[in-house]
Amino acid sequence: MDSLAVTEALSRVFSDASVLQAMLDFEVALARAEARCGVIPAQAAETIAAVARAESFGSADIAELVRFSLRAGTPAIPLVQALKEKVRAKDPSAAGVVHWGATSQDVVDTALVLLLSNCRALLAADHDRIQRGLRRLSDEHADTVMLGRTLLQAAPPVTFGLKAAGWYAALRRGWWRVDSRFTESQYLQFGGASGTLAALGERGISVSEAVAQELGLKCPDAPWHAYPDRLAALLAALSIYTASLGKVALDIALLMQHEVGEAAEPGGDGRGGSSSMPHKHNPTACMLTIAAAKRTPGLMANFLNGMLQEHERALGGWQSEWTTVQGMLQAAGVALESMAEVIEGLKVDPQRMRRNIEATQGTVFAEKALVQLAETMGRDDARRLVEETLRKTGSPPDLPGLLSPESYLGSAEAFRVRLLEEEQQDAIR
């Protein structure tokens, strides 16, 4: 069932080989930075860089690293030991300066930050697909009338263009938060044993700045070993964004109900079928998105709970972060990829939308009738007349033009345009 919780692309980002390379990238950057700052010999740094490649580790090597990571409580310890052995085979003198001045959390946290950049690009690509698709749908259906629905009951008409624009704007606001928090997360973790870089003497800050430069990361004012608030902000933004995707998915799934039939996600290639009912076209992609959105609150709570960390390095809180961050990113990835497919291939049925309005026998225009009658008889008398007519006939009073949904859309089009044209700097308004 894990296949329902992660995309192929994100599974590659968090594969053993990818994680291994991210940790090795830290070790290479550390060695080169320390060579630049005169801490270790330049030749030693080049030897480390030549050896620290994931392809240098065979499947048996990786399996052993995984096995010993559990015993060590961190993958950094067996990784550093294995790297030293590979460096020793090439240059014995260089083996002694591998991982110089660093600690396990430096390797693991920085590797995670590096992997976040890879995730960001994947998520952004699917977000862009969704935004293009929603803008197209909104423009194409600017005049497509449909029932408004409040508390799951029929209400005065809206347009599908307005509904799609609402989805578009919510996701744009959500991505603005996510993207800015990705940027905020891109900080090096490098503090050494107790967060002081004491092993580097007076060169700690210069080495930190050099490592950050090597990796294309920002250098923090100080190590953040027990302060994962930037990661928490990213996860909070991801949880909000994924929930917004879930809202879109839920709306579409409800529109796909047989008795509603106003929209349908694309099928084919095994999508949406049933093992026992050949007639069914299930909202499978919407289902996966909703499931992902339902997972995120628990993941967010887990991360916040883990932020209560002891002194300079946590006992359990930090160790729980990786799987929680990975789970949140994978949930967002599944939701994004699923909804990109839905939005790009969404089938909208304007005729069914209009028939569903007509099937209410005018009851959704009761407010419209009240407004028209109130102009001549006052609001209270108009309300009594409309309510009495509805009780007796099941329909509102017969008034000219009453049953035209196009004449009772208010500011729907103005709102639609405003939602689509909202400037990026005002995205969270």
The answer to whether residue 274 is catalytic is yes
Which pair of tokens denotes residue 108? Answer: 């693991």
- Please check whether residue 427 is in contact with residue 173, taking contact to mean a CB–CB distance below 8 angstroms: yes
Say how far residue 380 (Cα) sits from the centre of its chain: 49
* Alpha-carbon distances of 330 from 13, 122, 324, 325, 352, rounded to whole Å: 10, 11, 10, 9, 36
Q: Which residues contact 255 (CB under 8 A, 6 or more apart)?
A: 261, 262, 263
- HSE-CB for 373 with a 13 A CA cutoff: 21
Q: Whole-angstrom Cα distance, residue 33 to residue 28? A: 8
Look up residue 200 and give its amino acid: L
Q: Strands, DSSP E only, in 243-323?
A: 263-264
Q: In angstroms, rounded to a whole number, what is the distance separating the alpha carbons of residues 129 and 349?
A: 22
Three-state secondary structure call for residue 199: helix
Known catalytic residue: 132? no
Q: Which helix (H) or strand (E) holds 255?
A: helix 229-255
Annotated active-site residue in 93, 194, 274, 411: 274
Q: Bridge partners of 268?
A: 271
Pairing of β 145-150 and β 153-159: antiparallel
Which one is catalytic: 36, 313, 352, 354? Answer: 313
Rounded alpha-carbon distances, angstroms, from residue 422 to 53, 170, 238, 407: 46, 11, 21, 26
Return the active site residues: 274, 313
